[in-house]
């Protein structure tokens, strides 16, 4: 499972550009920092109140520095701490170039449902609602299915986090772009046929004319 998540994270890392300010959701997105091109500089913003988020070496954890998921994190030498008001002013003010987060469901209209399954206990929505609306680009990084059940749907059935905000979906099966016409499969994992990818997807995929293997 970890290999699949790292495969997805490595592909997402290629979507980030030098100078970007990027917010990473909890879970899979936090692996992206392990796959960055060392020649580019990305400033990672943590919604709980700092910029300069980075991995921490085992054994050097500081109990006072955690990411938004409460996991020990590091901070870059040029990083800075601030309060939640400032943190969400950055997010809501459109200063985040990209946010990468997981999801329970995404649909062909770019709707996202990633915060609750009715009847199950959850800690809350967190900053997801603000991030998917405030960031300039929204990338959903997730496994393609949940125990074989489609997560990329014609229409989300779970309570929405936001409507029409997803720009890109990256899974272990492919790279997809959300367009006004629907979800376009831009890249595919050669381990799967296009037919297998479609079978695992409830939404009808539009196959790009220049479809490429995942890189």
* Residues identified as active-site: 47
Contact call for residues 30 and 7 (beta carbons, < 8 A): no
Strands (E), the chain: 21-24, 43-46, 50-54, 74-81, 98-101, 105-107, 112-113, 138-141, 145-146, 149-150, 152-153, 168-170, 174-179, 182-188, 206-213
Pairing, β 138-141 against β 98-101:
parallel
Residue 13: in which H helix or E strand, if any? helix 2-13
CA 34 to chain centre: 15
| 33-38 LR contacts (CB < 8 Å, sep 24+) | 34/6, 34/9, 35/6, 35/9, 35/10, 37/13
What one-character DSSP code corresponds to residue 38? T
Contact call for residues 169 and 140 (beta carbons, < 8 A): yes
């Amino acid at each position: 499972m970890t290999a699949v998540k790292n495969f997805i994270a490595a592909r997402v890392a290629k979507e980030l550009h030098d100078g970007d300010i990027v917010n990473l959701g909890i879970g899979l997105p936090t692996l992206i920092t392990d796959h960055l091109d060392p020649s580019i500089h990305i400033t990672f913003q943590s919604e709980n109140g700092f910029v300069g988020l980075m991995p921490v070496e085992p054994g050097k954890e500081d109990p006072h520095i955690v990411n938004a998921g409460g996991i020990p994190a590091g901070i870059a030498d040029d990083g800075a701490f601030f309060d939640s008001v400032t943190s969400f002013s950055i997010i809501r003010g459109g200063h985040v170039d990209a946010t990468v987060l997981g999801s329970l469901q995404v649909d062909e209209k770019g709707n996202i449902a990633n915060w609750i399954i009715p009847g199950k206990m959850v800690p809350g929505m967190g900053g997801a609602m603000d991030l998917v609306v405030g960031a300039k680009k929204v990338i959903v990084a997730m496994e393609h299915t949940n125990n074989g059940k489609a997560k990329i749907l014609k229409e989300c059935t779970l309570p929405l986090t936001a409507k029409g905000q997803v720009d890109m979906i990256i899974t272990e099966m492919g790279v997809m772009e959300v367009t006004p016409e629907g979800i376009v499969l831009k890249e595919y994992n050669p381990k799967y046929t296009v037919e297998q990818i479609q079978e695992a997807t409830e939404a009808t995929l539009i196959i790009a004319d220049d479809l490429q293997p995942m890189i």
